[in-house]
């Protein structure tokens, strides 16, 4: 590889590493990633959705570390494990966590978990620090097993990122077509649902990428447009300075 090519590669690496900063996906329901959801959605729809979600959350098409911290059926069944086999997946059932625990992973998948306020705070810090989080709602398995309790818990986290869950279940059931250009749904024509907490946007950074009858099914947050960190800027500046010196010496 020539010196000029190497310098361009360094610049490209700096830009790409800063491009992925934070990811959050909130799905109104847990059923899309169950074995039943994989079967009912047909073809590769659910598998493609799972892989797209992993890429969105980790910034890597394979190899990154993912923690499935849930014993809910929406995240602990075999079809999802197969779909994510290209990643390093740790599936523990639900385990209490701190920010330090979360930081061992590029992304964490949650659903049906009952969190403490300290864990909610840790999740917010994890996302703000560049971690990826997938949340499956609609599980009727949080707090007092009510839709309102489930929404209230997750809203304590996701409202920070301009997303919100409805306090009542939406009653949507069956395969629902997707019609989004979001990379999270690229190649996905439909997903299977069975009664979830609809998702809404509270601001521009919280986007609804799939909906039905005017209610959000999947919401996402990303800070991928964030300004590169100082260390990244220094790397880029050094590479560009070296490129300038190289050109001067060649002239």
- 249 pLDDT exceeds 60? no
Domain residue ranges of the chain, discontinuous segments joined by +: 1-20+231-251, 22-223
Residue 105: predicted pLDDT: 98
Confidence of residue 8 (pLDDT cuts 50, 70, 90): very low
Write the CB contacts of 163 (distance below 8 Å, at least 6 apart in sequence): 24, 26, 199, 200, 201, 202, 206, 219, 221
Model's pTM, two decimal places? Answer: 0.82
- 213 pLDDT exceeds 70? yes
Contact 21, 227 (CB under 8 A): no
Residue 238: predicted pLDDT: 45
Distance from the first to the final alpha carbon of the chain: 20
- 164 pLDDT exceeds 50? yes
CATH class of this structure's domain 22-223 = alpha beta
Confidence of residue 53 (pLDDT cuts 50, 70, 90): very high
Cα angle for residues 98, 135, 140 (degrees, 5° grid)? 105
Residue 227: predicted pLDDT: 35
């Amino acid at each position: 590889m020539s010196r000029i090519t190497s310098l361009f590669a360094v610049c490209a690496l700096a830009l790409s590493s800063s491009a992925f900063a934070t990811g959050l996906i909130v799905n109104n329901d847990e059923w899309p990633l169950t074995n039943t959801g994989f079967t009912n959605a047909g073809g590769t729809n659910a598998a493609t959705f799972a892989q797209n979600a992993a890429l969105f959350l980790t910034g890597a098409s394979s190899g990154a570390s993912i923690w499935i911290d849930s014993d809910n059926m929406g995240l602990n069944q075999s079809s999802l494990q197969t779909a994510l086999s290209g990643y390093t997946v740790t599936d523990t059932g639900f385990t209490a966590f701190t920010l330090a625990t979360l930081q061992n992973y590029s992304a964490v998948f949650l659903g049906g978990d009952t969190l403490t306020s300290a864990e909610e705070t840790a999740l917010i810090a994890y996302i703000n620090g560049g971690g990826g989080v997938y949340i499956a709602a609609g599980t009727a398995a949080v707090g007092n097993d009510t839709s309102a309790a489930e929404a209230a818990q997750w809203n304590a986290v996701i409202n920070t990122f301009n997303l919100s869950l409805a306090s009542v279940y939406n009653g949507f059931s069956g395969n629902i077509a997707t019609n989004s250009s979001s990379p999270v749904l690229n190649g996905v024509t439909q997903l299977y649902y069975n009664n979830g907490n609809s998702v809404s946007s509270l601001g521009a950074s919280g986007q609804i990428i799939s909906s039905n009858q005017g209610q959000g099914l999947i919401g996402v947050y990303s800070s991928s447009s964030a300004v590169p960190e100082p260390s990244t800027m220094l790397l880029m500046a050094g590479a560009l300075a070296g490129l300038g010196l190289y050109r001067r010496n060649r002239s």
